[in-house]
Structure 1
Amino acid sequence: MKKLVPAAVLAVAALTLVPASPAAAAPWDGNDIDFGLGNWEFSSSNFYVDDVYLVFPDTSSEYTDIWDGAAQTSITSAALSLSDEGVGCESDASIDQSIDGATGDLVLTCTVTNPTFVDAGLSIVAEIRVYAGSDLVRASLVITNTSDAPIDIDSVDYYTDFGSRGELFDYENQDDLVLPVPAAESSDFAPILNDADARWIVHWEEDDAPGGIVIGAGASEAPTSWIETSGDTYEYRIGAFTIPAGESRTTATFVNWHPQSLIDGDYANDGTDPDLLDASAAATVASMSEFASLSGRLATGLTAAEVVNWGPADVVVVPEPEPEPELAATGASDTAVLALAALVLLGAGSLVVARRRVRA
């Protein structure tokens, strides 16, 4: 059912689509966030995107049930006695909410204070970025080894639960001889997708908004594979990697959809024409060409630290400005200063004379 959004709120949301000057981060209040083409729901205790309402030009909105939790994350390290330890924020207020001044993206960030991680020598910064176009969400972790010895991470798992059991609409390197689609979702798909080297999938359901998951690409340091595809639940695992002492490694995943096609087709969660859902799913598939490498907007906000399930991010490094030349340590002599002052006064006097001559 559509819900009305105040016009003032929609106006503010529209402004977020335009890159703005840098804005100071503010604590998140735990409420849904109106941004771009959606009304976004988040969770802090296990940091993830919960769901999104589609926002129409008339300020009404429609429940999409696209997710029951996107990009939930956990870490396992036998060496650190971590077993599928969930990554969450201390509280809603511990999450910083801001708009990226260069891109207009909505960014939620927290430093994970879980004592289990801290005691193990890990400093973790978790981020959820909703891109300005509203079509894409990136969840990432920057994991820093604060100890004086290398740390072995066995796995980082990303778990996304779509709103309802449906169909696998398409996948990377799709082949009818391997797995014809659409196909009713099954736990049997994980090994098939891995054999096909499918780094993305698109999910379809008869009422919910269709959406995709992208798990990586390129020459990644850590092996990445699907481990669960049961019904509407998709989980993948980033395999073992090592973080040297004092260094950081990053993991990143994306979930995407095509909100504009749903708006154009007047999407309704309880009775949309299947052709509209097919068209929106197909548009999501077409957008997957962007994920051939971690570059362009995909790399926005990432540091040069290696993204272990993608390979190095194609990050634009802005050079530091050249320092201004400084006076010698002994300083300028009094004579030099007086000479400079005399030259300035002489120039000023010449300019006055010249002006008088012109006026004459």
Structure 2
Amino acid sequence: MTTPATPTTTGATTGASAVTGAVGSARTRVEGRDKVTGAARYAGEIPFAELAHGWLVLSTVARGRIRSVEDSAVLAMPGVLTVLHHGNAPRVETDYVGMVGRPNPVLGLFQHDRVPFAGWPVALVVAETSEQAREAAEALVVRYDEEPHDVAFFAGRSGAYTPESNPMVRAETEKGDLAAQLDASAVVVDEEYTTPEEHHNAMEPHAATARWDGGRLDVVDSNQGSTWVATELAKLFSLDPATVRVRSEHVGGGFGSKGLSPHQVAAVMATTVLHRPVRVVLTRRQMFSLVGYRSPTAQRIRLGADADGRLRAFDHQALSLTSTVHEFVESSAVLGRVLYDADAHHTLHRLVRLD
């Protein structure tokens, strides 16, 4: 076995680096013992008396209108307590600006009959058990007036536009004369790349249990920002923020997707109607349309450099898709703005609206 050489100090060294001792030393995680012994309680596991279970029903068409929700037969099934949809659900307020801007329209659950994409929530079936709720949800008949849809994304797609700057991502930055610097460069790289869509798949599912407790809304949730979720729920349901409490004891992964999603809104709606605790857990399949994802991209990168490798020109243009109801910019070109400098520097994000 080879013994690594011991670092030595040379005359050019101005001082030894401070050793923190953090690497390789033991550290006790606050929640570590509970997680490895199975004592940790996740949002979908905490018991409540008289707990009811909600199961979301998602659209099977990509665009259109709901013609009817035929719930009579489902309401007669064993254990079913209610079926919420656009015809009977509590009203929510979505015309506000929250911590991250205007809310995603999908949080305006069951507020109208429009369907803007496949997997849009169209109903919530609530029953005494999760199994009863799932069986009833799968039996629910929803009829649609379907409309033509467009979901095709590819490089060079027509209809692309440059979004206005938003609080999260600046669409375009530029300095210098890009064309001149590219012409003056000894070496030019001009390449196009594509990336596929990527989805969140945390080990713990998205789960929330909502209940009213002495005039206060109490939500047990799996999220990555309880204060944010509580504030948004207060705005959606026009409540005093002081009366809304959101607890997240443990989070079994999130990848940034565990913020505010339709399952929390659905749980609050159902507990308000039924006056008992209601839990809503998203399935793996439902996560693919309800908790966000990374858009596919088509990107063009141009680099111009001197013979010694110094960058003279940097150009990064990225195309991604956004929905027809909520604009989101996949910030592909943002890192180039801070990682690389050049005499001429240009970055651009463009979007295509699809269903």
Q: If the TM-score is normalised by the length of the shorter chain, which range does it land in?
A: under 0.3
TM-score by length of 1: 0.24
TM-score by length of 2: 0.24
> Which protein, 1 or 2, shows the higher relative CO under an 8 Å CA cutoff with sep ≥ 6?
2
